[in-house]
Amino acid sequence: MKIQNRRFFLHSLAIGSIGIPFGFDLLAKDKNDPARFQIGVQEYTFNRMLRSGKLKHLDYPVLVKKELGIEHVEYWSRPFDGKHTDKKFVGKDLVYANVWKRGDKRTIYHVMYRDGSAGPAMMKRFYVNSITRDTEYDLTKGNKNSKILYFSANPNGEREIVSVSLRPRPHLKRLKFDVDLGDLLIKGRKSVGNRVTKELIQKVVLKETGGSTLAARKIWFDAVVGRLNDEERGQFLGEFKGEDKLLSLYANGSYKLGGFDLSTRFDDDMIHLEKWNPGHAISAVYYDGQKELHFVKRFECEINNKKRVVFISESEGSTLDVVSTAFKPEVKIVYNKHLKATKNLPDNFWY
């Protein structure tokens, strides 16, 4: 099988497509060019190599990225032999499962565990930036009958406060106390951790989640796929940390404030996205379908992370003309020159 890189493949495709008007415009010269497009490869393309054993199932994405320069892959379910739907494939007593990203130092894990049958309770904070395939790692000291009491994964190193309830005993005066896991140093997964208590813990529950304890994160928005990323693809939105939010504006005259998690999805009718600045007002011109008049308004956002907030009239026929978050926006009003009532009115600007 002859392997071609992606650019050679696209050149060949453009040359061979005689009569197709776009030709070489298919090639994206700049990775930040919003006009570019991306291609992906389905694993079934290599089904003969997989069946013959020349290519291993888990080596397929490496081949595609290194040899073809393509980062978008789609797995074929057959090589899993049904294990992808079998709970035993990941083991018993599963606490957490997710897709792991190599080199990820921003996803911070919080663990509280009991050391052995009657040992002290320990807590630690760590990241996992490298692993060896098919290798198990013990999050405790490795002593027999050790038990995980609390576990959480925080995509941006968020601080957590947990409530610890102790098993009642005659000599205990305080049966419940809070622990701020954000005060722990972030270490490797092999770290033993700090002692919580030598008493038996009955339960540990999350009390409060705070902002990120990590340095600010640079985030871009890729308009081609409609997703956030930290790999410098698309429009640079800024550096985010803690309680920073994203402001998205929509064509139906609504806005939404949300977090900056890279898994965030955006609706197709979004017309603008930026890092929210609480000191910047939103200016809008809209048409009220009921009153049949155009209106201008300027307002500040109300914090609402769950749903869109409509800021124009909700009467039938109402539409958004223009919206801006600029400090001093300018709007040019152009009158209809075909109507008798407005044909002599000069165009003007609103500030």
Q: Residue 180 has which token pair?
A: 């701020």
What is the pTM (predicted TM-score) of this model? 0.51
Task: Give tens-digit pLDDT for 308-338.
Answer: 899 999 999 999 999 999 888 888 888 888 8
Residues 119 and 160 in one domain: yes
Q: Parallel, antiparallel, or unpaired: how do β-strands 40-42 and 72-74 relate? A: parallel
Residues 221 and 329 in one domain: yes
Higher pLDDT, 86 or 234: 234
With 80 as the cut, is the pLDDT of residue 121 above it?
yes
User: Percentage of the chain surpassing pLDDT 90?
Assistant: 33
Question: Given 157, 189, 212, which residue is the final one in a domain?
Answer: 212
Nearest 10 degrees: CA dihedral of 25, 31, 37, 39? 120
Higher pLDDT, 50 or 170: 170
Residues 229 and 336 in one domain: yes
Residues 49 and 130 in one domain: no
Question: Given 212, 233, 250, which residue is the final one in a domain?
Answer: 212
Name the residue type at position 16.
G
pLDDT of residue 62: 77
Residues 339 and 244 in one domain: yes
Q: Residue 96 has which token pair?
A: 């957490």
With 70 as the cut, is the pLDDT of residue 5 above it?
no
Distance between CA atoms of 101 and 134, rounded to whole angstroms? 16
User: Poorest-confidence range of 148-157, 187-196, 334-343?
Assistant: 334-343
Average pLDDT over residues 5-30: 45
Average pLDDT over residues 119-126: 93
95 assigned to some structural domain: no
Residues in the chain, overall count: 351
Nearest to 46 by CA among 27, 30, 24, 62: 62
With 90 as the cut, is the pLDDT of residue 89 above it?
no
Q: What are the DSSP E strand ranges found in 34-191?
A: 40-42, 72-74, 108-114, 121-126, 147-154, 158-166, 176-180, 186-187
Label residue 296 left, alpha or beta by phi (over 0 means left) and psi (-120 to 50 means alpha): beta
Residues 233 and 265 in one domain: yes
259 assigned to some structural domain: yes
Residues 232 and 340 in one domain: yes
Which residues lie across from 220 on neighbouring strands?
229, 236
Residues 227 and 338 in one domain: yes
Residues 324 and 221 in one domain: yes
| Summary mean pLDDT of the chain | 81
With 60 as the cut, is the pLDDT of residue 24 above it?
no
Residues contacting 105, CB < 8 A, separation 6+: 127, 129
With 60 as the cut, is the pLDDT of residue 27 above it?
no
Could you tell me the pLDDT band of residue 32, with boundaries at 50, 70 and 90? Answer: low
Q: Parallel, antiparallel, or unpaired: how do β-strands 227-229 and 186-187 relate? A: unpaired
Distance between CA atoms of 250 and 286, rounded to whole angstroms? 13
pLDDT of residue 231: 86
214 within 8 A of 108, measured Cβ to Cβ: yes
Question: Given 212, 237, 256, which residue is the final one in a domain?
Answer: 212
90 assigned to some structural domain: no
Residues contacting 243, CB < 8 A, separation 6+: 211
72 assigned to some structural domain: yes
Name the residue type at position 30.
D
pLDDT of residue 20: 39
Higher pLDDT, 215 or 80: 215
Average pLDDT over residues 158-168: 91
Q: Is 38 helix (H, G, I), strand (E, B) or coil?
A: coil
173 assigned to some structural domain: yes
Residues 237 and 311 in one domain: yes
Higher pLDDT, 118 or 134: 118
120 assigned to some structural domain: yes
Total structural domains in the chain?
A: 3
70 assigned to some structural domain: yes
Domain with 303 in it = 217-350
Residues 74 and 188 in one domain: no
274 within 8 A of 245, measured Cβ to Cβ: no
Residues 226 and 328 in one domain: yes
150 within 8 A of 132, measured Cβ to Cβ: no
Average pLDDT over residues 118-140: 88
User: Poorest-confidence range of 82-86, 178-182, 209-213?
Assistant: 82-86
